[in-house]
Amino acid sequence: MSGAPPIPPAPGRDRAAGGPPPPVPGDEGRYAYDVARSDPRGPGSLGEGPAAPARARRPWVRRAAWIGGFALLALIAAGVSVYVAVKIGPGTALVAFTTALVPVAIVLAAVWWLDRYTPQPRSTLLFAFGWGAAMSVALALVIGTVVELTLIGEDTEADVAQFLGAVVQAPIVEESMKSAGLLVLLLFGRRYISGPLDGVVYAVLIAGGFAFTENILYFGQAFAQSQAAGETSAFWQTFLMRGLMSPFAHAGFTSLAGLGIGIAAERRSLPLYIGLGIGGLSLGMCLHALWNGATFFIDVDPEEPLRGFLTYYAIVQIPIFLILAAIMAWLRWRERTIVRRQLSAYGRAGWFTPDEVTMMLSMRSRRRAEAWAARHGANARTAMRDLIRAAVQLAMDRNSARHARRRTERIRRDERDLLERITSDRRLIDALTRPVARPAPAGAPTDTPERVAS
């Protein structure tokens, strides 16, 4: 049974006739805002049903939690920075930091492409990156040391100890600490992760932050070794393998946990949260162990040390990357399909015109709509952008509500809030773009300065 309530009719819709309301006289041809609309808070404006109970809104609580979270991340980031500077030296750390900007820029570009269709709040995106770059690194250092001391005894051979650290300890601890950031975002609210692509975006961003700090350490150590040896081959090989050939390694591992959590969030199912969350995390750990363990099984030719790695990279890593990239592209296409289907349903109820639905589907059309609104001022452009985001969120929430086991007042309340927000944005845009004086009909006398003087 679908958990989504029937779509309420648009304000001003003629229910008896079943069609959309007529245009306001004199406004024909305006930018699809020529629909007569009543007060969205008026009785019956959102269809039949009991009124939503009043909610005690306490924005200061959420704001205080975010401020506390960012303050904690800043403190942890300062501690991690000191640790890195002490471990590899301030000068080396600066060189490594500059070099690590290359792979993280590649990851951030991918996140921008994935997120631009249904953009997430910048504050939560920044929090996710900060969690990966600071908190997950600090937790991995502390917990990883404890796990490593537990697994590796004093009499363990060096090769075995290195294998257990790279193939067992690192995948389990690092993937767990990165995925913990996704759980923190869920605690702040399910609205931040409401579908598979949302989970992937945040997971990739967390992993990108983690890889950024880790690359600083690896690049710094390679740079120090190159300085000691008097040559730069070790540094450039490390940069090639980690910075250019595998910038998405950590992102690919953690994205599987994000995918599982995102599917569960869309289905609004606690058992799926547990099953798919643990399943995605476990699969990410396996891929991480496969990546780290390859160095122990590849035959390395002393004269051509990169040959064995490149062979493994072409046979194993490239296919894995292509599969994950195809999944990401499919998720982005899927969101477009969801937006078209759900907004079309709202359009049939009178909330959107066909042209508006088409505009919401194309990034180019969205930019053109914002540019049109910008000609009437910054407030009009802000309202247009908010209208687009609210409409897209409405479509995604409606799709998620369809999978809910039962209809809840919260689903209806959230829908009401978004529809009222859309109506408010429409009114503001209409007020800011409406001409001060309407043009006179053709052939009508006009009071020109000469006519008034006569």
CA proximity to 419, closest of 41, 1, 4: 41
Q: Could you read off the pLDDT tens digit of each residue along the chain, which spans 454 residues?
A: 455 666 666 655 443 334 444 443 444 333 333 344 433 333 333 444 444 444 445 667 778 888 888 999 999 999 999 999 999 999 999 999 999 999 999 999 999 999 888 888 888 999 999 999 999 999 999 999 898 888 887 777 888 888 888 899 999 999 999 999 999 998 876 678 888 999 999 999 999 999 999 999 999 999 998 888 888 888 888 898 889 988 999 999 999 999 999 999 888 788 888 999 999 999 999 999 988 887 777 766 666 667 777 887 888 888 889 999 999 999 999 999 999 999 999 988 888 888 889 988 888 999 999 999 999 999 999 999 999 999 998 998 888 888 766 666 777 888 889 999 999 998 999 888 877 655 556 665 554 434 334 4
Tokens for 35, please give them: 């629909």
Tokens for 31, please give them: 């930018």
pLDDT of residue 295: 73
pLDDT of residue 84: 93
Tokens for 344, please give them: 């079309």
pLDDT of residue 302: 63
Distance, CA of 362 to CA of 163 (rounded, Å): 49
The string of DSSP letters for 248-260 reads THHHHHHHHHHHH
Phi and psi at 187, nearest 5°, equal -65, -35
Q: For the chain, give the number of residues.
A: 454
* Burial track 39-64 (b if 16+ CB lie within 10 A, e otherwise): ebeeeebbeeeeeeeeeeeeeeeeee
pLDDT of residue 276: 93
pTM: 0.81
Whether 107 contacts 242, CB under 8 Å? no
Q: What is the domain partition of the chain in residue ranges? A: 68-297, 341-433
pLDDT of residue 413: 85
Number of H helices, E strands in the chain: 17, 0
pLDDT of residue 434: 79
Distance, CA of 41 to CA of 209 (rounded, Å): 44
Coil/strand/helix, residue 270: helix
Question: Which amino acid belongs to residue 284?
Answer: G
Distance of CA 325 to the CA centre of its chain: 16
CA atoms within 13 Å, Cβ hemisphere of 56: 1
pLDDT of residue 38: 39
pLDDT of residue 21: 41
Whether 208 contacts 132, CB under 8 Å? yes
* Burial track 341-371 (b if 16+ CB lie within 10 A, e otherwise): ebbebbbeebbbbeebbebbbeeeebeebbe
CA proximity to 377, closest of 428, 308, 336: 428
Straight-line distance from the first to the last Cα atom of the chain, in angstroms, rounded to the nearest whole number: 75
Distance, CA of 441 to CA of 434 (rounded, Å): 17
